[in-house]
Amino acid sequence: MSKIKIAELFYSIQGEGRYMGVPSVFLRTFGCNFKCAGFGMPRGELSTEVESIANRVVEFKDYNELPLVSTGCDSYASWDPRFKDLSPMLTSEAITDRIMEILPHNEWLDEHLVITGGEPLLGWQRAYPDLLNNPKMKALKEITFETNGTQKLTPDFKEYLRKWNSEVGKELTFSVSAKLPCSGEKWEEAILPDVVCEYEQVGTAYLKFVIATEEDRDYALKAASEYRAAGFKGHVYLMPVGGVESVYALNNKAVAIMAMKHGLRYSDRLQVPLFKNEWGT
């Protein structure tokens, strides 16, 4: 039976993108190929906020006890190896049992599954078929992978997803949060249009760019045109930066206006005003 290292598994409302407002189970896998330490920092500087947390990691017995950060990656503990012991390795049976427990009717009704990270399309691709083939997952109709858009699908997993998505009533989505230079990651490693175009061969894909400044907007427009040039057909969203409410509130209206001006979609981050972006939301 396959196992997946799980940072978080919780039930909430999807706060971002196409499924904003939809009740959802979030499965946050462990591991990421990026660090995104540039978020919230002056250009060219990297956040060290997580260092002081990592130095006292032994104080935390549970993922949910970890402090939130206002710079760098807001889900740092889902990939930083110093926090790996807070993420158990669970069998697909244990994961599906837990999902049934947290669904309000202990079965799939209109809820959707979000497989997020970290970066959920790293090595776990080989484990998802076993998870999704579990009888308890049969009634699940909609899945979103929240990905940074850098990981190619393996041929086997691509074929599996193509079949899953072709079943009547099922819908597969890739929410691609491609990382702009404000993340601190390199353009040539983060903006990979061919990878995202491949996702469109097996489901619906859309791009979601995190915006803090007009410079970010300009990079988002540049990136969007590179994806389009490669054949990408999906929607493009602009989403305000801000894992904490004070930062989000400074940005959200300006980003909504930017999106309108450029004929792009606006994505909120409902989990910030509703739930303060706490773990498990």
* Binding site residues, ligand SF4, CB under 6 A: 32, 34-36, 73, 75, 79, 117-119, 148
Q: Which is nearer to ligand SF4, 134 or 173 (CB)?
A: 173
- The amino acid at residue 52 is S
Which CA distances in Å does 53 have to 19, 57, 272, 281?
Answer: 32, 6, 22, 21
Whichever of 136 and 208 has its CB closer to ligand SF4, that residue is: 208
Instruction: In angstroms, give the least distance from the CB of 61 to ligand SF4.
Output: 23
Is the previous residue joined to 15 through a cis bond, with omega within 30 degrees of 0?
no
Question: Closest approach of Cβ 210 to ligand SF4, in Å?
Answer: 8
* Cβ contact 178:131 at 8 Å: no
C-beta closer to ligand SF4: residue 117 or 193: 117
Neighbours of 109 (CB within 10 A): 10
DSSP string, 249-278: HHHHHHHHHHHHHTT-EE---THHHHHTT-
Residue 32 token pair: 């990421």
Nearer to ligand SF4, 69 or 153 (CB): 69
CB of 181 to ligand SF4, least distance (A): 13
Q: How many CB atoms lie within 10 A of CB 201?
A: 11
Rounded to a whole number of angstroms, the minimum distance from the CB of residue 254 to ligand SF4 is: 21
Residue 15 or residue 117: which is nearer to ligand SF4 going by CB? 117
User: What is the rounded CA–CA span in Å between residue 91 and residue 1?
Assistant: 7
| Range 223-232 contact pairs with CB under 8 angstroms and sequence separation of 24 or more | 223/178, 223/180, 223/191, 224/264, 226/191, 226/193, 227/178, 227/191, 227/193, 227/196, 227/197, 229/193, 230/193, 230/194, 230/196, 230/197, 231/193, 231/197, 232/193, 232/196, 232/197, 232/200, 232/205, 232/207
- Nearer to ligand SF4 (CB atom), residue 120 or residue 234: 120
Greatest CA separation found in the chain? 50
User: Whole-number minimum distance, CB 34 to ligand SF4, in Å?
Assistant: 4
Smallest distance from ligand SF4 to CB 59, Å: 23
Give me the least distance between CB of 130 and ligand SF4, in Å please.
24
Nearer to ligand SF4, 119 or 268 (CB): 119
Q: Give least dist CB 120 to ligand SF4, A.
A: 9
> Which CB atom, from 34 or from 108, has the smaller least distance to ligand SF4?
34
Phi then psi for residue 145, to 5 deg, are -95, 120
